[in-house]
Structure 1
Amino acid sequence: MFFFVYIYAMNFLAHLYLSPNNPQIIIGNFIADHVKGNKFKHLPENVQKGIHLHRAIDTFTDTNAIVRTSKRRLHERYGHYGGVIIDIFYDHFLAKNWKNYSQIPLDIFTKGVYQLLQKNTNILPEKTLELLPYMVQYNWLYNYQYKDGIRDVLNGMNRRTKGKSKMNLAIEDLNLYYTDLQKDFQAFMLQLMDFTTTEIQKL
Structure 2
Amino acid sequence: MNFLAHAWLSQAGNDDFLYGNLIADGVKGADLSAWPDDIARGIKHHRHVDAHVDAHSQVRTARQRAPSGQRRYAGIALDLLWDHFLARQEVGSRRHQELTARCYQLLESRSAPMRLARMVPLMVDQDWLTAYADFDFTCRAIAGLGQRLSGPNHLARLTTWLDDDYFGLEKDFNIMWPDLVSCLGTISAFDQP
* TM-score using structure 2 length: 0.89
Q: Which whole-Å deviations, capped at 9, do the CAs of 1:141-200 have from their partners, x for residues lacking one?
A: 111110121121122123223552422232222221111111100110111112222222
- 1:82 aligned partner, one-letter code: A
- 1:34, 1:65 → 2: CA distance? 27
- 1:163, 1:149 → 2: CA distance? 23
What are the residue-to-residue correspondences of 1:87-106 with 2, within 5 Å? 87-98=79-90, 104-106=94-96
Is 1:79 aligned with 2:67? no
- 2:48, 2:138 → 1: CA distance? 25
- 1:106, 1:90 → 2: CA distance? 15
Q: CA RMSD in A?
A: 2.0
In the superposition, relative to structure 1, how do residues 144 and 103 fare at CA in structure 2: closer, same or farther (>3 Å)?
A: closer
Is 1:170 aligned with 2:158? yes
In the superposition, relative to structure 1, how do residues 50 and 64 fare at CA in structure 2: closer, same or farther (>3 Å)?
A: same
Equivalent residue in structure 1 for 2:6, among 3, 9, 15: 15
Identify the residue that residue 121 of structure 2 maps to in structure 1: 133
* TM-score using structure 1 length: 0.85
- 2:5 aligned partner, one-letter code: A
Equivalent residue in structure 2 for 1:115, among 98, 105, 124: 105
Do 2:74 and 2:158's aligned partners in 1 also have CA atoms closer than 8 Å?
A: no
Identify the residue that residue 68 of structure 1 maps to in structure 2: 60
Identify the residue that residue 196 of structure 1 maps to in structure 2: 184
- Which is further off, 51-60 or 130-139? 130-139
Deviation at 1:76, TM superposition (A): 1.5
Deviation at 1:12, TM superposition (A): 1.1
Deviation at 1:36, TM superposition (A): 1.6
Q: Which whole-Å deviations, capped at 9, do the CAs of 1:48-101 have from their partners, x for residues lacking one?
A: 1101101111111111111001112221221310110111111111111126xx
Is 1:150 aligned with 2:138? yes
Identity %: 32
Deviation at 1:131, TM superposition (A): 1.8
Identify the residue that residue 38 of structure 1 maps to in structure 2: 30
Is 1:180 aligned with 2:188? no
Q: Which runs of 5+ in 2 are unaligned?
A: none
- 1:178, 1:131 → 2: CA distance? 27
**Equivalent residues, number:** 190
- 2:4 aligned partner, one-letter code: L
Q: Which runs of 5+ in 1 are unaligned?
A: 1-9
- 1:168, 1:61 → 2: CA distance? 22
- Which is further off, 58-67 or 156-165? 156-165
